[in-house]
Amino acid sequence: MDTTVDLDMYSSLVERPDEAARRSAEERWQGLAKPRGGLGQLEELGAWLASVQGTSPTRPVSAAKVLLFAGDHGVASLGVSRLEAKGGTAERVRAVLDGTAPVAVLAHRFGADVRVVDVAVDCDGTEFPEEVVRHRVRRGSGRIDVEDAVTLAEAERAFRAGAAIADEEADAGTDLVVLGDLGVGSTTVASVLVGALCGTDAAAVTGRGSGIDDRTWMVKCATVRDALRRARPVLGDQLALLATVGGADFAAITGFLLQSAARRLPVVLDGVVAAACALVAQRVAFRAPEWWRAGSATGEPAQVKAYDRLTLTPLQDLGVSMGEGVGAVLALPLLQAASDTLAEPSAVPTAAKREPRPPAKLPSAAELLDRY
């Protein structure tokens, strides 16, 4: 089946961030009463925020959103994770929704809202609220070492869903997205995508994920090796690649990243899953990585290779490897500090929560995809 999504349009729709705003921010840093470079990484982050906001002085980051895409993966049945293959993802989703998961606690502490999108969790859709499941594509996915994860039509549907979510967030006034995932077996899938796109073998991209032992690592490595053989024939078609060895959640994240870049919505990446999807998105629109920042290093070799290809340097390395957006949300205070320090003093709020800025008047995903 041929796809009706024209990915090529994103190569022209995704523009570079505002270079004039970046230069103005750098000049503003130099004008402050401080040693040259005295604020270290905050200075680079402030200049980046000015460029993606298109203005200097910057606006304080006031409406951040932690966005988690959830999906199950057939390879989890092979025992490639320490987490429970059956029901493990659903349990993690529930923990986020009830506020007990670490990412929910930290997001609340830093003044960010949390949104979970069930794209392909292997459970009855009635288990979660309607706002969580309304973009669901299917239940679970295929074992990518022996079969396709999803059909091409499902990958397209998931991609469109991710793009639509980017529109929803941009229209709601979200000014920064912390992007993560929830899914047992997802690091195996991410390793396959990164290995295929970087041209490396399985051992070079297979990590310890949930903290697996040597025997489980060998099983995981063999699974990645077999899936890589299935991935290589479709490397030239990003949607086909996502359908073959990705999954509905991976397709949705890729669509979200591309449409966010088109809508000028900055994103902080968390974990190897977001990094793998970013690598796929870069193949579609080479300017897109300029709209992203890497939140945290996880120690996964596939993430290291992906960030090297994307020329992104993690903002922190705290040894956080659990995924679920935790590492990236810990970078949020750095970005808030950078924006506040570079903003007009009168714009920096005294309250923890600020009103979101008006949404940009830019075309929606549906309008863009139907136009081409």
Cα 332 to the center of its chain, rounded Å: 14
The type of residue at 245 is: V
The answer to whether 216 and 76 have CB atoms below 8 angstroms apart is no
Which of these is catalytic: 84, 324, 344, 355? 324
Cβ count within 10 A of residue 359: 15
Sheet of 64-71: strands edge to edge? 113-120, 64-71, 176-182, 267-269, 292-294
Beta-carbon contacts of residue 83 (< 8 Å; ≥ 6 apart):
76, 184, 210
300 is catalytic: no
Question: Under DSSP, is residue 8 helix (H, G, I), strand (E, B) or coil?
Answer: coil
Q: Can you tell me the distance from the alpha carbon of 321 to that of 36, in angstroms, rounded to the nearest whole number?
A: 34
Write the CA distances from 134 to 120, 130, 205, integer angstroms: 11, 6, 34
Write the CA distances from 282 to 82, 141, 185, 234, integer angstroms: 31, 24, 23, 16
Catalytic residues: 324
